[in-house]
């Protein structure tokens, strides 16, 4: 035998006692035929089904819903009727337990979930969206339910440009249409760039009152300050949307005046040295009534001076002071605009 001939034959399965790959496959087919090809196909199908169920199809999850009073998270609501839908299909409905919670099982995952709380007792109906659940996951949702309050809100927030670190007070009318007195204040929702504080008023049954709240900006001087001011415990409110700009730069002259005559006339000038138009500049007397009662304006309809003062322009008006009979009196003329305040000292000195 030539050198290497036996080794080559053995490698390709042609030597004595060796099996070729094809013969090995044929050897396996025999037992498989005896077991049954159909059974093998069934087993493979079952395995594929298990794989799809375990790793492909989304599994249902659990959602825990807790109901509590709007603006009072310490007050959970027991016995509230709650309905849960997924992609518009009813998943289940029940009532909350003593802790104000309800547990929904077998909640479809990866679907849009909506919770609806029915109207009951002191509370109105409300709907809320829950985040979609991941496959087999658990989630929770806290739903705030408004109170039933016989209150009507009227009025609007004027267009106002605010400056950084500026406070501005607004007023809205609240009417009590019920038969009991109501304590009313405003709270802020989803505030961005502002804080809100409110006075509290008792509005008698059948009455109406103007209720004030103040918004205060932060350090930002660009963009917008936004949010909602609403009556506490209710969803009745107004949108807040204030552009932010630099603080007004107004020059007011003179800064002080002294009247020693029976009748004194002064020209007050307000000039806009800033880059933005300033709106709703007012001039209001303040101080000793003996003197403020003798102050009047000419050339303007006090207390409104102007609704819009463009950059570089000024407005002038006459301040007339009638001298008081004997003694010395001091008052002030408060010149104000949004995020601006300056006072002119007014004195009367007659012997």
Say if residue 92 is in the same domain as residue 179: no
Say if residue 177 is in the same domain as residue 221: yes
pLDDT averaged over the chain?
86
Which DSSP string corresponds to 228-275? EEEETTSS-EEEEEEEB-PPP-EEEE-SEEEE-SSEEEEEEEEEE-SS
Say if residue 269 is in the same domain as residue 199: no
The angle at the Cα of 14, spanning 12 to 17, to the nearest 5 degrees, equals 115
Residue with the larger pLDDT of the pair 132 and 278:
132
CA 294/CA 322 separation, integer angstroms: 5
Whether the per-residue pLDDT at 338 is higher than 50: the answer is yes
Model pLDDT for residues 73-125, shown as the tens digit of each residue = 899 999 999 999 999 999 999 999 999 999 999 999 999 999 999 998 899 99
Rg (CA), the chain: 40
Can you give the pLDDT at residue 85?
Answer: 97
Residue with the larger pLDDT of the pair 260 and 237:
237
Can you give the pLDDT at residue 257?
Answer: 94
CA–centroid distance for 334 within its chain: 35
Closest listed residue to residue 238, CA positions, set 249, 230, 246: 230
Residue with the larger pLDDT of the pair 104 and 220:
104
Can you give the pLDDT at residue 58?
Answer: 76
Top-ranked range on mean pLDDT: pick from 8-12, 302-306, 319-323: 319-323
Question: Any idea what the CATH number is for the domain that residue 262 is in?
Answer: 2.60.40.10
CA 250/CA 344 separation, integer angstroms: 13
Can you give the pLDDT at residue 31?
Answer: 62
CA 160/CA 8 separation, integer angstroms: 96
Residue range 245-250: mean pLDDT, rounded:
88
Model pLDDT for residues 18-58, shown as the tens digit of each residue = 566 656 555 555 665 665 667 666 777 776 666 655 555 77
Residue with the larger pLDDT of the pair 280 and 126:
126
On whether the CB atoms of residues 269 and 281 are closer than 8 A, the answer is no
Can you give the pLDDT at residue 129?
Answer: 95
CA 145/CA 160 separation, integer angstroms: 32
Residue 209 placed within a domain: yes
Token reading at 146: 């408004």
Count of the separate structural domains present in the chain: 3
Buried b (16+ CB within 10 A) or exposed e, 170-200: bebebbbeeeeebebbbbbeebebbebebee
Model pLDDT for residues 277-300, shown as the tens digit of each residue = 888 888 899 998 989 998 988 876
Residue 255 placed within a domain: yes
Cis peptide preceding 303, ω within 30 of 0? yes
Q: Domain residues for 306? A: 250-350
Say if residue 65 is in the same domain as residue 138: yes
On whether the CB atoms of residues 272 and 250 are closer than 8 A, the answer is yes
CA 246/CA 270 separation, integer angstroms: 18
When mean pLDDT is compared across 101-105, 134-138, 179-183, the lowest value belongs to 134-138
Can you give the pLDDT at residue 33?
Answer: 60
Final residue before a domain boundary, out of 189, 221, 243 = 243
Residue 276 placed within a domain: yes
- Other beta carbons within 10 angstroms of residue 236's beta carbon come to 14
Residue 102 placed within a domain: yes
Final residue before a domain boundary, out of 107, 123, 145 = 145
Final residue before a domain boundary, out of 198, 220, 243 = 243
On whether the CB atoms of residues 240 and 190 are closer than 8 A, the answer is no
Residue range 57-73: mean pLDDT, rounded:
92
Whether the per-residue pLDDT at 1 is higher than 50: the answer is no
Whether the per-residue pLDDT at 6 is higher than 50: the answer is no
Say if residue 228 is in the same domain as residue 319: no
CA 57/CA 295 separation, integer angstroms: 82
Residue 170 placed within a domain: yes
**Torsions phi, psi for 23 (to 5 deg):** -65, -35
Token reading at 270: 């307000």
Closest listed residue to residue 218, CA positions, set 192, 185, 255: 192
Closest listed residue to residue 193, CA positions, set 244, 246, 159, 245: 244
Residue 39 placed within a domain: no
Can you give the pLDDT at residue 51?
Answer: 60
CA 93/CA 232 separation, integer angstroms: 29
Say if residue 255 is in the same domain as residue 344: yes
Say if residue 256 is in the same domain as residue 338: yes
Q: What percent of the chain has pLDDT over 90?
A: 60
Can you give the pLDDT at residue 8?
Answer: 46
Token reading at 149: 């309050």
Residue 89 placed within a domain: yes
Residue 199 placed within a domain: yes
Say if residue 184 is in the same domain as residue 236: yes
Say if residue 133 is in the same domain as residue 108: yes
On whether the CB atoms of residues 84 and 91 are closer than 8 A, the answer is yes
CA 215/CA 157 separation, integer angstroms: 12
Say if residue 163 is in the same domain as residue 230: yes
On whether the CB atoms of residues 98 and 92 are closer than 8 A, the answer is no
């Amino acid at each position: 035998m030539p050198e290497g001939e036996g080794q080559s034959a053995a490698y390709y399965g042609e030597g004595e006692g060796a099996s070729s790959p094809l013969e090995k496959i044929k050897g396996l087919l025999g037992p498989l035929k005896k077991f049954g090809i159909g059974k093998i196909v069934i087993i493979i199908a079952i395995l594929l089904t298990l794989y799809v169920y375990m790793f492909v199809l989304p599994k249902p999850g659990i959602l825990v819903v807790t109901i509590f009073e709007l603006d009072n998270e310490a007050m959970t609501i027991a016995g509230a009727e709650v309905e849960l839908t997924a992609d518009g299909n009813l998943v289940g409905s029940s009532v909350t337990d003593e802790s104000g919670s309800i547990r929904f099982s077998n909640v479809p995952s990866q679907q849009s979930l909506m919770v609806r709380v029915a109207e009951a007792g002191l509370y109105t109906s409300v709907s809320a969206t829950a985040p979609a659940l991941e496959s087999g996951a658990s989630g929770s949702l806290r739903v705030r339910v408004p109170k039933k309050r016989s209150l009507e809100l009227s009025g609007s927030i004027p267009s106002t440009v605010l400056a950084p670190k500026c406070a501005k007070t607004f007023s809205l009318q609240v009417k009590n249409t019920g038969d009991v007195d109501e304590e009313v204040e405003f709270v802020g929702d989803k505030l961005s760039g502002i804080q809100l504080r409110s006075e509290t008023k008792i509005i008698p049954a059948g009455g109406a009152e103007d209720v004030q709240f103040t918004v205060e900006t932060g350090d930002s001087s660009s963009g917008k300050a936004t949010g909602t001011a609403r009556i506490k415990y209710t969803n009745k409110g107004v949108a807040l949307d204030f552009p932010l700009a630099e603080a007004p730069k107004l020059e007011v002259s003179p800064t002080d005046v002294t009247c020693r005559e029976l009748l004194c006339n002064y020209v007050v000038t307000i000039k806009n040295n800033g880059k933005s138009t300033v709106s709703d500049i007012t001039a209001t007397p303040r101080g000793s009534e003996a003197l403020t009662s003798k102050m009047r304006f000419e050339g303007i309809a006090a207390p409104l001076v102007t609704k819009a003062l463009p950059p570089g322009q000024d407005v002038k008006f006459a301040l007339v002071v009638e001298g008081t009979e004997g003694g010395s009196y001091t008052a002030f003329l408060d010149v104000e605009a949004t995020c601006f305040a300056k006072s002119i000292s007014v004195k009367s000195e007659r012997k």
